[in-house]
Amino acid sequence: MKVTLLVALGVVALVHIPETRAQFVKGNEAVSVAADGSRKVETPPTAGALLAKPCPAADAACTGSGWKMVETTDGLMECTEVYARPTTCRNSTYGSEKRARVWVVKSGAEWKHCSYPDIGKGCTSIKSLPSPVVQ
């Protein structure tokens, strides 16, 4: 009887596993994993974008509009822009520090920023202004 109860509790726990985790956004097509386990990661293209001089992640003045959470080859990073150019990103503090954030994801051919690490909640085109949420 105890085994059945433990199994039942295990099933309940599995049902409640969130689809999003601090280092992953389910449905983000910018990240793909090959059969051998290697990851391929895309970031929004800079071609055709009007780009200002990169604002370094180390400069506190560069984060006035909140952090852009971008999946990169180094994992999930906090960036000052959606393009994740060199010097504009730092290691993620998600889960340990509350900050204004938007999540940059790819859905189909479109790049979006989402209010939460959930592609199904509050996502708009990166061509529109984001609405960062403190998380």
pLDDT (tens digit per residue) in 59-75: 988 887 789 999 998 88
Q: What angle do CA 29, 69, 94 make, to 5 degrees?
A: 120
For 70, the domain range is 55-135
Distance in angstroms (rounded) separating the CA atoms of residues 104 and 132: 11
77, part of any domain? yes
**Residue range 33-47: mean pLDDT, rounded:** 91
Domain membership flag for residue 100? yes
- Count CA within 13 A, CB hemisphere, residue 33: 7
87, part of any domain:
yes
pLDDT greater at residue 38 or residue 21: 38
Whether 60 maps to a domain, the answer reads yes
Specify whether the backbone of 108 is left (phi greater than 0), alpha (psi in -120 to 50) or beta. left
Task: Confirm if 104 and 44 have CB atoms less than 8 A apart.
Answer: yes
pTM of the model: 0.76
Mean pLDDT of 6-17: 38
**Rounded CA separation 91/10 (Å):** 33
Q: What is the pLDDT of residue 8?
A: 42
Q: Is residue 41 part of a domain?
A: no
